A and B are shown apart, each in its own frame.
Chain A
Amino acid sequence: MTAFVLPKVPDVTKMLEMLLGDGLTAKPAAPLDAKSGNIVALYVSPDGKPVAAGVCDTAFAAYAGAALSMIPPGGAKDAAKSGDLSATMMGNVHEVMNICSRFLMNDATPHLKLATVHRDGKELPDGSKAFLGAALPRLDMEIDIPRYGKGRLSLLIT
């Protein structure tokens, strides 16, 4: 029994399509590691305890971060390759992860909200690393953003 809820892939697809452009597709994918180079968003309960996480790879962060502000795909592809994500891209990933919080709770669950987004899961505070080390229920997806490219996004709940 989990405290929070995971969305269905079509729900995430619809939301990302609204934000990032028509024709976006999502499909189940292999799990992403929260602790090795990927971007990690931590969601907390009202008492500040981490209760859920969003993890994405550099490619998703670059492509979603660029698409939300309509940054040309060329710059996004360079960022995906080099890992050098601009402040705008990271800010936009923060907003995408913020909107994902909607999917993790409902009227029957406790409340949570996005607290922080970490560029690299290796930089997470120790308490959060322990939380992410547990075997958590998760949804793992590959997202294809038209004109930009494919990246991976995972949502984990307690």
Chain B
Amino acid sequence: MNILIIDDSSAMRMVVKKTLRMAGFEGHTISEAEDGAAALERIRQSVPDLVLSDWNMPNLSGIDLLAKLGEEGIKVNFGFVTTEATAEMRDKAAGAGAKFLIAKPFTPETFSMTLAPFIKN
């Protein structure tokens, strides 16, 4: 599977990759983008099987990226990995079409439970 990780922190992208491995999701092709705008360009060229996106980012936020994808008719399994984890933000994410929201800080167990329906080993 092709998995796209979007976060403006390179360290956090590394932590997400490490946590995917620790959760048992191995052997997948992982790509990265540093903000929503860069991710949009990448997704337009090749739609990944799964997107794990931060919420607050410069240039284009995760929620605005999700809206853009919807406007352009691009269908992709999209979920957030974010500190924005209040009920209000979860509702907003779900309303925009996000499949899940993983709150930072997270554990391999959270990744395993949440992502199992979306990642086929």
Do chains A and B interact in one complex?
yes
- In the complex, 10 of the A-B residue pairs with CB atoms within 8 angstroms, ordered by the A residue number, are A15-B105, A18-B106, A19-B15, A68-B11, A68-B15, A95-B9, A99-B104, A99-B105, A102-B104, A102-B105
Interface size of A by CB at 8 A reads 21
| B56 within 8 Å of A (CB atoms) | yes
- Say how far A24's CB is from chain B's closest CB, in angstroms: 12
- Say how far A127's CB is from chain B's closest CB, in angstroms: 22
| A47 within 8 Å of B (CB atoms) | no
- Say how far A26's CB is from chain B's closest CB, in angstroms: 14
Question: Chain B contact residues (Cβ within 8 angstroms of A): what range?
Answer: 10 to 19
- Say how far B9's CB is from chain A's closest CB, in angstroms: 4
- Say how far A137's CB is from chain B's closest CB, in angstroms: 20
A19 to B16, CA, bound (A): 10
Q: Are B105 and A95 in contact (CB under 8 A)?
A: no
Complex interface residues of chain A between 100 and 117 (CB less than 8 A to chain B) = 101-102, 105-107, 111, 113-114
B-contact bits for A93-136, CB 8 A (1 contact / 0 none):
01100110110011100010110000000000000000000000
Q: For residue B7, which residue of chain A has the nearest CB?
A: A95
Complex interface residues of chain B between 66 and 107 (CB less than 8 A to chain A) = 83-89, 103-107
| B14 within 8 Å of A (CB atoms) | yes
A-contact bits for B1-16, CB 8 A (1 contact / 0 none):
0000000011110110
A91 to B9, CA, bound (A): 7
Contacts of B9 in A (CB 8 A): 91-92, 94-95, 98
Contacts of A15 in B (CB 8 A): 105
| A150 within 8 Å of B (CB atoms) | no
A107 to B90, CA, bound (A): 11
Q: Are B87 and A98 in contact (CB under 8 A)?
A: no
- Say how far B42's CB is from chain A's closest CB, in angstroms: 21
The list of the 10 closest CB pairs from A to B, nearest first, reads: A95-B9, A15-B105, A68-B11, A102-B83, A92-B11, A18-B105, A107-B87, A69-B11, A99-B104, A101-B83
| A14 within 8 Å of B (CB atoms) | yes
Contacts of B10 in A (CB 8 A): 69, 88, 91
* Contact (A95, B88) CB under 8 Å given A15-B105, A18-B105, A101-B83: no
